[in-house]
Amino acid sequence: MKKCLLSIDWDYFIHTQSENWGSYSENTNNIINLWYKRYIQAKTYGKDIQKWFQLSSEHENFWQKIRELFIFAKGVKTYISDSHALSYEIARDHGCNAVYLFDAHADLGYGGMASLEFPVHCANWLGKLLKDKWIEEANIIYSPHTAEKEEYFKPINNAFNIHYLSFDELDTGLEVPAVHICRSGAWTPPWLDDCFYRFADSSGLTYELINCPTRKWDTKNLSFSDQVQYLLA
């Protein structure tokens, strides 16, 4: 029987200008300091970075659509973290043999098969689950706003059972013993964190918060020394 990890990245719902796509390490500098640095740099050119990121209205009815397709197991475990790498442990620990990933990124590994030789991290956790034989299949539902294409991962696609699906192509009646909601703070702006937690709450699921630090976003009270510190970050 198929037991699915439902893994959702908050960046699935966020549209950004192409110049803001990139790859970052997940650390304090990139999940908060870099956002202030971008804000300060943009402001010097008379621009507001908050206008560069748009939250899709799809997040408002997402859980309704999910409940029409997936069946949450009795006692389903739900986790919130900043890093998506936690999905590796969740799938393994809950005996999931399939992953359904809603994300702007495939997280299969971005250097071909060689990237699966590295330790688990936010960009290769799904590929590692397949390589390490913890799961039998991966189902990727790309964000409408993604910059990626499935052919970017041709060697990995050829090696494992990977499907790229739309919402309309998903099966129904899939059992979900575990859910992971990931913030991906290096890619999603801190001023949308309140919306992120409202989104998580609207799932109706009781969740455990794991390593998802609160991000303070207060641009009105930035001192000169604060600005220097962020610009040097």
Which residue ranges make up each domain of the chain? Answer: 3-15+55-216
**Whole-number pLDDT of residue 233:** 67
Q: Is the pLDDT of residue 32 over 80?
A: yes
Rounded to the nearest integer, the mean pLDDT of the chain is 92
Averaged pLDDT for residues 152-165: 97
Whether residue 26 contacts residue 186, with contact meaning beta carbons closer than 8 Å, is answered with yes
Q: Assign 90 a pLDDT band (cuts: 50, 70, 90).
A: very high
Whether the per-residue pLDDT at 29 is higher than 80: the answer is no
What's the pLDDT band for 26 if we cut at 50, 70, 90? low
Hey, which residues does 164 pair with through a beta bridge? 140
Q: How confident is the model at residue 24 (pLDDT cuts 50, 70, 90)?
A: low
Query: Span 69-73, mean pLDDT?
Result: 95
| Average pLDDT score over residue span 18-39 | 72
pTM over 0.75, yes/no: yes
Four-CA torsion 111, 125, 123, 17, nearest 10 degrees? 130
The neighbouring-strand residues paired with 138 are: 99, 162
| Listed residue (82, 93, 78, 86) closest to 206, CA to CA | 78
Cα–Cα distance measured from residue 37 to residue 52, given in angstroms and rounded to the nearest whole number: 15
Quick one: pLDDT at residue 227? Answer: 78
**Confidence (pLDDT) at 230:** 75
Q: Helix H segments across 20-173? A: 28, 34-44, 62-69, 86-93, 125-131, 154-159
Q: Is the dihedral of CA 29, 51, 149, 164 positive or negative?
A: positive
In the predicted model, what is the mean pLDDT of residues 150-173? 95
Predicted confidence (pLDDT) per residue in 172-220, tens digit: 899 999 999 999 999 999 999 999 999 999 999 999 999 999 999 998 8
pLDDT at residue 232 in the model: 76
